Structure 1
Amino acid sequence: MNLIRNFKIFLFFLIFLSSNIILAQWDPSDENRDPEIGVTKKTLLAIEKFKEIPELEDYFAEADSYAVFPRVVKAGFGIGGSRGKGEMVQNNYVIGSVSLTHFSAGIQLGGQSFSQIIFFRNKIDTDRFIQGNFEFSARASAVLIEKGVSAESTYNDGIAVFTSTNGGLMYEASIGGQKFKFKRYQIK
């Protein structure tokens, strides 16, 4: 029994470390930015992907801001975790970088990669997010967007979350417990 537990712990840390190594290679501040809105190419591609979804049109038009994570990696074997880096856009300009971390325990096995976008309805919701460590409640959930399927959601406490899978064998739309950090870019 101890051997199985130790193997699970070893495997979790191996998956976690390898995903962090992959993610650590991407730093939004180091990439070429689109001169129009100051966004990195990876973030811009993710935004374009989400803008292709007709159901999100009103969110882009009405939201005060949104955080985009081009790639979030999630892995689990009894114990799981996810990590991603992205950028926050307000008034069509990138205002800073954001990071996402999540740890969970329970029945889970596999790994996946997905993109995520979080819309903030108004300035109060945006400020609440950028002022400090932000965490979704355990009840929070995201709408999983699949081709040909309607993506319907409403704001929950001023926030609407959508994910789009990039690949993998783990399915879970729960975002409860995700923690975020925001770092404002220095305007030169």
Structure 2
Amino acid sequence: MSRFIKRITTSLCLLASVMLAPQALAEDGYSQAKSTFQQANETQKFFNNAYGYALFPTVGKGGIGIGAAYGKGRVYRGGSYTGDTSLTQISFGFQLGGQAYSEIIFFKDEAAYKDFTSGSFEFGAQASAVAITIGANAQAGTTGNSAGAGKGAAKAAYINGMTVFTVAKGGLMFEAALAGQSFTFEEK
């Protein structure tokens, strides 16, 4: 039975990456994703103070009951590109649809950076992301949606030395958990 589930999840990962992720990630894809995140007020203090970050220009996600996500990214320390990373996620439960989004993970300090770049890292159940909308003061967190004038409602903070932001690129999917996201790292 576990071989069957593993084959299904592998197939779903492949399907999600083919359907929703671009065929070739160009250098400008990383520059554009970074620029998009830099435009958000919520990320400014993290760009200014973080030890480093991992940037995924496009993560493709899809599911019908069993879901999968996949994306390729780069890891930076002090603004310098240090290696490549990949994100995979398998999830079970109520979910339907597909989406593409960008994701950035900020590392508070060297310990968090080393934890992520140890070769194999996975978010636990306590992990959550702040979903930001560029160009409007509307935000969607993993706990709900809000909109308003003035200061943003969703607050990001480091949990275990990391904080995560996402920006939707397209698609529609009901599910926003980070639990189960696994990452690999290959030094440049």
Q: TM-score per shorter chain, which class?
A: 0.7 to 0.9
- Name the TM-score, length of structure 1 as normaliser: 0.81
Q: Does 1:169 align with 2:167?
A: no
1:84-99 → structure 2 map (5 Å cutoff): 84-99=71-86
Tell me which amino acid in the other structure corresponds to 2:169. Answer: N
1:144-169 alpha-carbon deviations (Å, 9 max, x no partner)? 11231324210001000000101111
1:33-182 → structure 2 map (5 Å cutoff): 40-146=27-133, 147-149=136-138, 150=152, 151-182=154-185
Higher relative contact order (CA 8 A, sep 6+): 2
Secondary structure, counterpart of 2:112 in structure 1: helix
Give 1:11 deviation, angstroms.
Answer: 8.9
Tell me which amino acid in the other structure corresponds to 1:20. Answer: S
- Could you tell me the percent identity over the aligned residues? 38
Answer with 1 or 2: which has the greater Rg. Answer: 1
Distance 1:18 1:111 in 2: 11
Counterpart contact for 1:116–1:162, Cα < 8 Å: yes
Counterpart contact for 1:84–1:101, Cα < 8 Å: yes
Give 1:172 deviation, angstroms.
Answer: 2.6
* Cα RMSD, aligned residues only: 2.3
Secondary structure, counterpart of 1:165 in structure 2: strand
Number of matched pairs: 167
**Structure 1 gaps, min length 5:** 1-9, 32-39
1:117-166 alpha-carbon deviations (Å, 9 max, x no partner)? 00000011101111120000022111111231324210001000000101
Distance 1:168 1:158 in 2: 30
